[in-house]
């Protein structure tokens, strides 16, 4: 069963790989359509696939609300705590969308804690559409 440690390890490996991609990147790559941009590296897609599978496995293990809150808090804070390498920033934000099915597993109290954290970290005017949906889902879970 996948748990918090496995998900954290997945993030650490991805961030290490993304940093390596960023460091080896030629600044002229991607200009005028020549070369590859760092965002085109397959490590980003692999991370997305691996994270989706890990979250599915995590959910299958019937985690309690506290375990779900721990994983979601980690995922939601990742872009803030790891703004570099830049090539991974948008993927870390996109990963929030993979967590939508876990939100109903939160207790009202845990949903309230996460909603407050999320609202503080991602102000309304800066949220992407997927982040708006997550904030609304956390609000609904808090009121269930």
Which of 106, 46, 42 has the alpha carbon at shortest distance from 73?
106
What are the φ and ψ backbone dihedral angles of 14, each rounded to 5 degrees?
-65, -45
CB 58 within 8 A of CB 1: yes
Supply the DSSP symbol for 98: G
Local mean pLDDT, 10-residue blocks, the chain (144 residues): 93 96 72 66 95 97 97 97 91 95 97 97 91 96 90
**DSSP H helical segments within 95-128, as ranges?**
108-121
Question: What pLDDT is attached to residue 44?
Answer: 94
> How far apart are alpha carbons 81 and 53 in whole angstroms?
23
Question: What pLDDT is attached to residue 101?
Answer: 96
Question: What pLDDT is attached to residue 1?
Answer: 72
Domain limits of the chain?
4-143
CB 48 within 8 A of CB 91: yes
pTM: 0.91
> How far apart are alpha carbons 32 and 54 in whole angstroms?
37
Question: What pLDDT is attached to residue 40?
Answer: 76
Question: What pLDDT is attached to residue 23?
Answer: 84
């Amino acid at each position: 069963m996948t748990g918090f440690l496995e998900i954290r390890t997945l993030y650490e490996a991805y961030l290490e790989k993304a940093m390596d991609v960023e460091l080896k990147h030629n600044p002229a790559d991607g200009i005028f359509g020549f070369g590859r941009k760092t965002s085109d590296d397959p490590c980003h897609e692999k991370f997305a696939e691996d994270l989706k599978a890990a979250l599915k496995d995590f959910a299958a293990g019937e985690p309690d609300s506290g375990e779900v809150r721990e994983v979601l808090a980690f995922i939601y804070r990742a872009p803030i705590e790891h703004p570099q390498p830049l090539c991974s920033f948008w993927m870390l934000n996109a990963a929030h969308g993979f967590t939508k099915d876990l939100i109903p597993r939160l207790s009202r109290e845990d949903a309230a804690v996460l909603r407050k954290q999320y609202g503080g970290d991602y102000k309304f005017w800066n949220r992407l559409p997927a982040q708006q949906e997550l904030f609304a889902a956390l609000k609904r879970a808090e009121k269930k």
